[in-house]
Structure 1
Amino acid sequence: MKKRLLLITIVFCSLQIQAQTAQDTIDIKRVALAYIESQHTPNPKLMESALHPRLVKRSVFRSKAAQKDYISEYFAENMVILAETYNVKGDKFPKNPRKEIKLLDISERTASVKLLADAWIDYMHIVKTNGEWKIINVLWQYNDVKQHE
């Protein structure tokens, strides 16, 4: 019985290890960095390379006038335009911007990542489709939540 349990444990653990390769980890980090770096140095092609075409980026804001919360949504096309236009003057980020990537969970075809940037936090869902890792969901907030008003 103990041998059977040990064998089952070994098989289960080996299946878990196969779900994430070293290359997957590299590719997931590369995609998350492409997302933020394409905003640091305007690069719409780099942003587009990181995003799944069905990406949705969301945050919660508070309308002062209505005293009501609402959800903002951006899509892949908006993010590509943002990467092209947001930091054109080079004044939106510090000289050495923060771009800390924390891998929260990785499975065979999905990953959850936390990106800590200078002014905000992004929680990303990254999906592997057709052999490539792409960001499909982003939930974000400013570090200073008062900026959400």
Structure 2
Amino acid sequence: MKFVFFGLVLFFTSHSILGQTKQDSLEIKQAALDYIESQHKPNPSQMERALHPRMVKRTFWKDKATGKDYVRETATESMILLAESYNKKGDKFPASPKKEVLLLDVSERTASVKLIADEWIDYMHIVKLNGTWKIVNVLWQYHDVKQH
């Protein structure tokens, strides 16, 4: 019994030493918020701040001609342009947009995050490079998959 208790203490102590800090959690959440908020009020520099230059965003889509599903990809450069132009008229989001960030798993240098926004669900992989958390992967879908 003492061995089990000692093992648990050692596990939780080493986990807290090696795991994320409260500041890391805040910075991870901020990267996800920068991603969505840069689209609410067009701000390409905010989007650029959130994304790694080699980020890839993916979703499934249905080809209208064949009816077959396929994976559609978007890169960082396109997302920065999107942040600049998507909501320029201010009509793409409600007055108080939904933006719920759930930290699914966080380690010292990697995190998995779920962003629940108005029309979308985004799963993100975020990595800490040179002291800064950046989004490297996004897999998203509409809440209503028929929209794809």
Q: TM-score range by the shorter chain?
A: over 0.9
Cα-Cα RMSD: 1.1
2:28 corresponding residue in structure 1:
28
Q: In structure 2, how many angstroms separate the alpha carbons of the residues matched to 1:111 and 1:50?
A: 14
Give runs of aligned pairs for residues 81-92 of structure 1, distance below 5 A.
Answer: 81-92=81-92
Which amino acid letter does the alignment assign opposite residue 147 of structure 1? Q
1:13 corresponding residue in structure 2:
12
Give runs of aligned pairs for residues 81-120 of structure 1, distance below 5 A.
Answer: 81-120=81-120
Q: In structure 2, how many angstroms separate the alpha carbons of the residues matched to 1:61 and 1:145?
A: 9
Aligned-residue offset at 1:108:
0.9
Aligned-residue offset at 1:4:
4.3
- TM-score (norm. length: structure 1): 0.94
Q: In structure 1, how many angstroms separate the alpha carbons of the residues matched to 2:81 and 2:15?
A: 39
Q: In structure 2, how many angstroms separate the alpha carbons of the residues matched to 1:16 and 1:54?
A: 30
The 10-residue stretch of structure 1 (15-24 or 84-93) with the greater mean CA deviation from structure 2: 15-24
Aligned-residue offset at 1:7:
3.0
1:41 corresponding residue in structure 2:
41
Aligned residues: 147
Deviations 1:30-79 (A, max 9, x none): 11100000000000000000011110000000112112111110011111
Gaps of 5+ in 2: none
Instruction: Report whether the alignment pairs 1:64 with 2:64.
Output: yes
Aligned-residue offset at 1:24:
0.7
Which amino acid letter does the alignment assign opposite residue 80 of structure 2? V
Q: In structure 2, how many angstroms separate the alpha carbons of the residues matched to 1:49 and 1:126?
A: 13
* Moved segments of 4+, more than 6 Å: none
Gaps of 5+ in 1: none
- TM-score (norm. length: structure 2): 0.95
